Amino acid sequence: MKTLGIGLLGTGFMGKAHTQAYRSIPIYMGDINPRLIAIYGRSPGKTRDVAEKYGYLKYYTDWLELIKDNGVEVVDNSLPNFLHHDPSVSAAEEGKPIICEKPLARNLEEALDMVRAVEKAGVIHGVIFNKRWFPSIRLAKKLIEDGVIGKVSHFRFAYHQDWASRSRVMTWRFKRKLAGYGVLGDQGSHVIDMIRFLIGDFSRVLGRSRIALGERFGEDGAREKVDVEDVITILVEMENRAIGTVEVSRFSLGRKNYFTFEIYGEEGALYFDMERLNELWVYTRAPPEVEGFKRILVTEGEHPFYKYFWPAGHTIGWVESFTLQLYYFLKAVEEDREYSPNFRDGAKVNAVMDAVYESLEEGRFIEVKEI
Amino acid sequence: MKTLGIGLLGTGFMGKAHTQAYRSIPIYMGDINPRLIAIYGRSPGKTRDVAEKYGYLKYYTDWLELIKDNGVEVVDNSLPNFLHHDPSVSAAEEGKPIICEKPLARNLEEALDMVRAVEKAGVIHGVIFNKRWFPSIRLAKKLIEDGVIGKVSHFRFAYHQDWASRSRVMTWRFKRKLAGYGVLGDQGSHVIDMIRFLIGDFSRVLGRSRIALGERFGEDGAREKVDVEDVITILVEMENRAIGTVEVSRFSLGRKNYFTFEIYGEEGALYFDMERLNELWVYTRAPPEVEGFKRILVTEGEHPFYKYFWPAGHTIGWVESFTLQLYYFLKAVEEDREYSPNFRDGAKVNAVMDAVYESLEEGRFIEVKEI
Amino acid sequence: MKTLGIGLLGTGFMGKAHTQAYRSIPIYMGDINPRLIAIYGRSPGKTRDVAEKYGYLKYYTDWLELIKDNGVEVVDNSLPNFLHHDPSVSAAEEGKPIICEKPLARNLEEALDMVRAVEKAGVIHGVIFNKRWFPSIRLAKKLIEDGVIGKVSHFRFAYHQDWASRSRVMTWRFKRKLAGYGVLGDQGSHVIDMIRFLIGDFSRVLGRSRIALGERFGEDGAREKVDVEDVITILVEMENRAIGTVEVSRFSLGRKNYFTFEIYGEEGALYFDMERLNELWVYTRAPPEVEGFKRILVTEGEHPFYKYFWPAGHTIGWVESFTLQLYYFLKAVEEDREYSPNFRDGAKVNAVMDAVYESLEEGRFIEVKEI
Amino acid sequence: MKTLGIGLLGTGFMGKAHTQAYRSIPIYMGDINPRLIAIYGRSPGKTRDVAEKYGYLKYYTDWLELIKDNGVEVVDNSLPNFLHHDPSVSAAEEGKPIICEKPLARNLEEALDMVRAVEKAGVIHGVIFNKRWFPSIRLAKKLIEDGVIGKVSHFRFAYHQDWASRSRVMTWRFKRKLAGYGVLGDQGSHVIDMIRFLIGDFSRVLGRSRIALGERFGEDGAREKVDVEDVITILVEMENRAIGTVEVSRFSLGRKNYFTFEIYGEEGALYFDMERLNELWVYTRAPPEVEGFKRILVTEGEHPFYKYFWPAGHTIGWVESFTLQLYYFLKAVEEDREYSPNFRDGAKVNAVMDAVYESLEEGRFIEVKEI
């Protein structure tokens, strides 16, 4: 079994998810063995504890040292948005494969700089859009590609959570300088990537946004200003002429992880809700007597990826999307193949988000830049 | 348009539902016109008011007079259980078609006496099991008959309500002498008829019951003893070897009209919930990738009876099952044809219920009497 | 019981629904008795048949004669959009209360002319937005007004059907001259009225639309051009600063009557789907352990209007929204009170739709005209 | 971080699930570190491969050797039913903590012998009933214990799968000698344990069963007789007087892992469906206007165990129930405390199943033996 030495940047929520994924790969896939070489975090105490708990052999409080560690064969950047660029570029410069959390960058320019760095270095690169790896999403992709729902005509995508309405604490996620975008970058980047994945490239966009809570409390208890949106609604036009709506919010009470879509095509329709991520609802034309949306539990051995997991009906959780995404990234590294979604895909999402931001200023449709 | 003179016995919940049904027939079907001739109720004041409100030309406080009224061409018995036998037999003796609310009688013996009366008189007879007439139920019936789910293997039927847990008032429904049975007769008779309708005849049954509230308050505020069950569970074996469970309860908090079934066959399965009566869920074998239960909104013109109603998606309510059942009864009368479900069907339900009651005493399976 | 003579214009789908409603009022409400005086239709044969079937005493093939009939005390205009203006204005000029189907007019100007006519004549006027009368919608309204979900922050409304993708026949609904709008006027007017009803007045709108099928076949088999949209998506801003998305489509395969909304407030959220019109989903803050959306079956005696109908769990259908709307219109007429929604409400919907149409041309947000 | 050496018996479906669980404990809980010492399987080749893939240091093809291995501090018996007794007893005799898959034994007598062995040896013992560890189930347990739904009155439990209808292959699961029971032991043991966990001890039971497919094909292609049930329905009475129905089937087409219950109490009700294992539906009395079943996504930090996992809405999968159960078993071992469910709990499930089997013969209610 091929082994690959992992260097992980980040000890937070994403660091935990990625580590659980790496440790699961031998059980589920079993043809590659990620070795947990080193982890980076700012705080020495916490990072040492996390390293021990998660099973990393070393820890660093300087990310560049981790990247340069000879045992580290793959760099995983799970740091906050404002630390996506520099460590990712450094990894590329060191000639190491790099996979980076979404959104790739805080704006298109920063993203394009990252693209140039990895392309110049010739390293394998990827960006985390884990939702592409739910078996239900892959089934949706397959059904669209097979023409089962026909040409896509119109759609609704939404991603609602309510966590930001439950806390008044200031974090980097509420500051444009650190996050680049508000909820658009945090949750919305998933939506935009998913629309690209399932439907195609964007043509024009127009958004309207709100800050739901204008001030939050910093660590020292001081009030600080929120300068990025909490709620955003967008009209989109695709290059293939499909039109759609997008809603993204972290202030939608009662919705915990409601990433949902309805896609209408000329021959059928799809419905998905990530709170029930093992399911896909599919409508296709049928004799009128027996037509209706079918609730497919995407857990058969015949479903995408499910052979790795369990017998039918034994559902997987959210984290297994990382297991799949990281597994396929390691396979690409092992086989020295291009990977998708990569930094260019990530930059395309930034291009859409920047166009949305411009539309907020202009109050009219903005063309998405080609890159 | 053929007219038929209706004489309705009963001014309560069922009297209202039946009247609304009769008044709807010209709009939906339009080839028969029920004339509301007379209504019977115990109280002169209330009955007169109801007659005026509902549009009956006359009212009676003696049911025999209503039955003998020359304008009354069809007798509709919507009285409580203890008044099913006598007026129905009298109607037959007067040579008038008679449709009677469920359960037909308070026990098998009484039911058989009613059967003898109508068969001797040669009148058209029917028993109200309105749930047979939901388009969703008819679709279920058709799919079973067409072999779509194959031979039925096993099933669950249940009928849960919670109204009896919300009131401590004594009514005839809680007295064996007046009602014949507890919740078994009231809600359970629907279940038993539906099993017969969809699956076939019963072979053996075994029940277990509970009285949830032992005493209730009479009109004078006095405590009175409840002597019939509020909750009952039953194992059943069918003549075709299918086995199943039945639950019936009027003490199931949160359930308002939860008449539900799951039917498993050798090639598929069905699911129904009357709180969403316009829907039927159907599973049939399909390629594993796209198998799942399909939610069918049974409102297309191609669905049973729906041509009478509205364009697809414009749902009907509970009362339209009466519109359909009474319409087809009037058609049978008009065309002098046998009707189903008739008194014999009603008596078969009594036979099953009596066997269940015997099993409660005996603690073992009891064969259902053939009649 | 007070009687009122009804004159109905229209023998189609809406004529049927309204007639069923009028005939149901005595059963459900019982304090007013609509007398079916006369019905108007273009074709003498069909109109006579319908009159007989539905129980109208007379029929006319000239709508002005019907309006002038002395027995007609209330005029109900269920004709196509291009016949909303003239007969409604004539009814007003004859001093008769008038209720007109939605959308009130083919554009704002026409609508304002109708408003002027009824206000000048001093007659009671109403516009059919029957969805306001579902008990579930009224419960939503009450919960919002009671502050249960707090100030509304953002929302999604959608109305998807698929009937237009199942037929290639040309009708007036696909011609701007006759219908005024495409799916925006037909289904979208319901959505706009509902947003006004539940959330308030519109500030700015911006839409994007598609014609899904550009040609249809006329009665003579000739191809004719469709010049109004089949699908439309809209961003809206409300005067109270809430923002939202609207989707309206008659080409959404698998959706039969999917009028749905998600409304997010500062203290809770609501969800509705008209295919399950007896239900409302409500989220309100609760201890984290037991928080979640509650599925309310809006059929209790304590729920809006349900006292008129049945015991809990015995659901109503789509048509009962007309029964309620027309009942309250007749009550307003009887008591000589203003009615809502009236022609002014109808015109406000036209104002929003006209602004949407302007935005389609301009590609930017358009202010909704105050009227 | 405390480490414990694990010896796993079994390389199949359960071996995989248990190993994934052990590897996840450091990530989720982090205060105990299971070391994968050794794995046992019959086939040397396959076992060696599995050991390497899963990360076990050694492998054995003699289970007694594994048990006696000094590095093995905890024995995990994930073998088929006919290998529950001997290795478990040997582990006890070696003084090692033992956790065994369900059902504990092939009959009560065998189970009691296992109980005697572990109790005599004084080792910590446990039986795998992983479903007890879903956060949703723990919330159900807590709500019942807190009296939120009042005294339980009646219930329905069911466990439907369809895998056995999709294959005609003979395995040990279809042979009484090897499995002890049919679907009753396989899926039904989960149901019986869950009823004990949530509601209490059984008093009397009565079952009715079917073999759906009488012959299957052995490895050599020969037809072999199935001598245990595929479908079983049971009436149960509890010591606390609650009554209920149980259905268990591996021939319910369309159902993949439909472990479901409805529990009705005097103050509320619960509903669960394992195909959506992150959810619990709860009804409690409320003002009639806003009463209904609440869909609780059991993923908040305040929910049982969820602090170990992810932020709200980021759901877990089926396997995490093993992570939790095995973690708490290792904690019991580390702290030398009794564990529940243990072999005595397992034997109580065998007592119920044996009573059901006796009732199949007798056709009457059978008292469950106290042990």
Q: What is the DSSP string of A36-82?
A: EEEEE-S-HHHHHHHHHHHT-SEEESSHHHHHH-TT--EEEE-S-GG
For residue B101, pLDDT over 80 is answered with yes
> Is residue D332 helix, strand or coil?
helix
Tell me the torsion sign for CA atoms C53, C59, C62, C65.
Answer: negative
Distance, CA of D142 to CA of D7 (rounded, Å): 33
Model confidence at A175, pLDDT cuts 50, 70, 90, reads very high
What string of H, E and C letters represents the secondary structure of B311-352?
Answer: CCCCCCCCCHHHHHHHHHHHHHHHHCCCCCCCHHHHHHHHHH
Question: If we measure between CA atoms, which residue out of B19, C195, C247, C65 comes closest to residue A247?
Answer: C247
For residue C219, pLDDT over 90 is answered with no
Average pLDDT in chain C: 97
pTM: 0.98
For A185, the token pair is 């970058």
Tell me what percent of the residues of chain C surpass a pLDDT of 70: 100
Q: How many Cβ pairs within 8 Å bridge chains A and C?
A: 119
Model confidence at A1, pLDDT cuts 50, 70, 90, reads confident
Residue D152: strand pairing partners? D265
Pairwise CB contact (< 8 Å): C254 & A292: yes
Model confidence at B301, pLDDT cuts 50, 70, 90, reads very high
Q: Is A20 on the interface with D (CB under 8 A)?
A: yes
Place of tokens 């000029």: C93
For A312, the token pair is 């039918």
Neighbour count for residue A239 (Cβ, 10 Å):
13
Nearest chain B Cα to A138, which residue? Answer: B289
Q: Is C337 on the interface with D (CB under 8 A)?
A: no
Q: Which chains touch B (3 or more CB pairs under 8 A)?
A: A, C, D
Q: How many Cβ pairs within 8 Å bridge chains B and C?
A: 103
List CB contacts (< 8 A) between B274 and chain C: 313
Quote the pLDDT of residue C231. 98
Instruction: Find the farthest-apart pair of alpha carbons in chain D and give their distance in angstroms, rounded.
Output: 66
- What residues have CB less than 8 Å from D12, skipping those under 6 apart? D78
Nearest chain A Cα to C210, which residue? Answer: A243
> Is residue C169 helix, strand or coil?
strand
CB-nearest partner of D243 from B154, B160, B210: B210
Q: Which helix (H) or strand (E) holds A139?
A: helix A135-145
> D107 or A220: whose pLDDT is higher?
D107
Quote the pLDDT of residue A39. 98
pLDDT tens digits for range D163-205: 999 999 999 999 999 999 999 999 999 999 999 999 999 999 9
What domains can be seen in chain B, in order of their start residue? 2-129 (3.40.50.720), 135-276+278-316 (3.30.360.10)
For D108, the token pair is 């009560």
Pairwise CB contact (< 8 Å): C290 & D288: no
For residue C149, pLDDT over 80 is answered with yes
Q: How close is the nearest chain B Cα to the Cα of D188, in Å?
A: 16
Quote the pLDDT of residue D308. 98
Q: How close is the nearest chain C Cα to the Cα of B65, in Å?
A: 24
**A220 phi and psi angles, rounded to 5 deg:** -90, 10
Quote the pLDDT of residue A336. 97
Q: Is omega for the bond preceding A34 within 30 degrees of 0, making it cis? A: no
- What residues have CB less than 8 Å from D45, skipping those under 6 apart? none
User: Do the beta carbons of residue D234 and residue D246 sit within 8 Å?
Assistant: yes
pLDDT tens digits for range A291-335: 999 999 999 999 999 999 999 999 999 999 999 999 999 999 999
Distance, CA of A208 to CA of A347 (rounded, Å): 22
List CB contacts (< 8 A) between B53 and chain C: 1, 26-27, 30
**B238 phi and psi angles, rounded to 5 deg:** -100, 160
Question: If we measure between CA atoms, which residue out of B58, B62, B61, B76 comes closest to residue B6?
Answer: B76
Q: What is the mean pLDDT of residues A139-144?
A: 98
Quote the pLDDT of residue D190. 98
Nearest chain D Cα to B258, which residue? Answer: D262
Mutate to test the interface with A, among B280, B290, B293, B296 (most CBs of A within 10 A): B290
DSSP H helices, D63-154, are 63-68, 85-93, 108-121, 135-145
Q: What is the mean pLDDT of residues D29-40?
A: 97
DSSP B187: I
For residue D219, pLDDT over 90 is answered with no
Model confidence at B165, pLDDT cuts 50, 70, 90, reads very high
List CB contacts (< 8 A) between B241 and chain D: 210
Model confidence at A242, pLDDT cuts 50, 70, 90, reads very high
Pairwise CB contact (< 8 Å): D292 & C297: yes
Neighbour count for residue C148 (Cβ, 10 Å):
19
**C90 phi and psi angles, rounded to 5 deg:** -60, -40
Distance, CA of D278 to CA of C60 (rounded, Å): 62
Q: Is B276 on the interface with A (CB under 8 A)?
A: no
Nearest chain A Cα to C263, which residue? Answer: A252
Model confidence at B369, pLDDT cuts 50, 70, 90, reads very high
For residue B26, pLDDT over 90 is answered with yes
Quote the pLDDT of residue C366. 97
Question: If we measure between CA atoms, which residue out of C280, C320, C278 comes closest to residue C133?
Answer: C320
- What residues have CB less than 8 Å from A2, skipping those under 6 apart? A31, A32, A33, A334
Tell me the torsion sign for CA atoms B53, B57, B62, B63.
Answer: negative
Pairwise CB contact (< 8 Å): D275 & A315: yes
Pairwise CB contact (< 8 Å): B293 & D247: no
Q: Is omega for the bond preceding B304 within 30 degrees of 0, making it cis? A: no
Pairwise CB contact (< 8 Å): D289 & C302: yes
For residue C1, pLDDT over 80 is answered with no
Distance, CA of B150 to CA of B266 (rounded, Å): 5
pLDDT tens digits for range B214-226: 999 998 889 999 9
List CB contacts (< 8 A) between A142 and chain B: 289
For B356, the token pair is 């269940």
User: Do the beta carbons of residue A307 and residue A301 sit within 8 Å?
Assistant: yes
DSSP D307: G
Q: Which chains touch A (3 or more CB pairs under 8 A)?
A: B, C, D
Pairwise CB contact (< 8 Å): C233 & A237: no
List CB contacts (< 8 A) between A278 and chain B: none
Tell me what percent of the residues of chain A surpass a pLDDT of 70: 100
Q: Transcribe C13-26 into DSSP letters.
A: HHHHHHHHHHHHHH
Average pLDDT in chain D: 97
Pairwise CB contact (< 8 Å): C287 & D293: no
Pairwise CB contact (< 8 Å): D153 & B210: yes
User: Do the beta carbons of residue D168 and residue D221 sit within 8 Å?
Assistant: no
List CB contacts (< 8 A) between C147 and chain A: none
Average pLDDT in chain B: 97
Q: Is B210 on the interface with A (CB under 8 A)?
A: no
Pairwise CB contact (< 8 Å): A291 & B301: no
pLDDT tens digits for range C150-167: 999 999 999 999 999 999
Range 341-370 of A in CB contact (< 8 A) with B:
none
List CB contacts (< 8 A) between B206 and chain D: 206, 235
pLDDT tens digits for range C102-134: 999 999 999 999 999 999 999 999 999 999 999
Q: What is the mean pLDDT of residues D334-361?
A: 98
For residue D23, pLDDT over 80 is answered with yes
Distance, CA of A231 to CA of D206 (rounded, Å): 57
List CB contacts (< 8 A) between C234 and chain A: 235
Pairwise CB contact (< 8 Å): D310 & A26: no
Place of tokens 């996390």: A50
Mutate to test the interface with B, among D191, D208, D266 (most CBs of B within 10 A): D208
Quote the pLDDT of residue B264. 98
User: Do the beta carbons of residue B33 and residue B26 sit within 8 Å?
Assistant: yes
Place of tokens 């794995």: D39
Burial class (CB in 10 A: 0-12, 13-18, 19+), C238: buried
Torsion of CA C306, C312, C317, C322, to 10 degrees: 0
pLDDT tens digits for range A246-284: 999 999 999 999 999 999 999 999 999 999 999 999 999
Cα atoms found within 13 Å of the Cα of residue A366, Cβ hemisphere only: 20
Neighbour count for residue C201 (Cβ, 10 Å):
14
List CB contacts (< 8 A) between C244 and chain A: 233
Mutate to test the interface with C, among B310, B320, B323, B324 (most CBs of C within 10 A): B310
The string over A125-164, giving b where at least 16 C-beta atoms fall within 10 Å of a residue's C-beta and e elsewhere, is bbbbbbbbbbbbbbbbbebbeeebbbebbbbbbbbbbbeb
Nearest chain B Cα to D236, which residue? Answer: B208
Instruction: Find the farthest-apart pair of alpha carbons in chain B and give their distance in angstroms, rounded.
Output: 66
Range 121-180 of A in CB contact (< 8 A) with C:
149, 153-154, 156, 158, 160, 165
pLDDT tens digits for range D74-123: 999 999 999 999 999 999 999 999 999 999 999 999 999 999 999 999 99
Q: Transcribe D172-199 into DSSP letters.
A: GGG-HHHHSSSHIIIIIHHHHHHHHHHT
Quote the pLDDT of residue D223. 95
User: Do the beta carbons of residue A23 and residue D27 sit within 8 Å?
Assistant: yes
Cα radius of gyration rounded to whole Å, chain B: 21
Mutate to test the interface with D, among A314, A316, A320, A323 (most CBs of D within 10 A): A314
Q: Which helix (H) or strand (E) holds D265?
A: strand D258-265
Q: How many helices (H) and strands (E) does chain C have?
A: 11, 17
Distance, CA of A273 to CA of A254 (rounded, Å): 14
Nearest chain B Cα to C52, which residue? Answer: B1
Distance, CA of B16 to CA of C101 (rounded, Å): 29
Range 37-96 of B in CB contact (< 8 A) with C:
52-55
Distance, CA of D77 to CA of D85 (rounded, Å): 10
Quote the pLDDT of residue B219. 86
CB-nearest partner of B19 from C20, C27, C55: C27
For residue B1, pLDDT over 90 is answered with no
Q: How close is the nearest chain C Cα to the Cα of D134, in Å?
A: 14
Place of tokens 């106290």: D370
Distance, CA of A232 to CA of A248 (rounded, Å): 5
Q: How close is the nearest chain C Cα to the Cα of D291, in Å?
A: 6
By DSSP bridging, strand A293-297 and strand A279-284 are antiparallel
- What residues have CB less than 8 Å from B323, skipping those under 6 apart? B20, B21, B24, B25, B28
- What residues have CB less than 8 Å from A209, skipping those under 6 apart? A182, A184, A229, A231, A232, A233, A360, C243
Question: If we measure between CA atoms, which residue out of C271, B208, C186 comes closest to residue D295?
Answer: C271
Q: Is A203 on the interface with C (CB under 8 A)?
A: no
Quote the pLDDT of residue B324. 98
Could you give the angle at the alpha carbon of B288 between the alpha carbons of B285 and B293, nearest 5°? 55
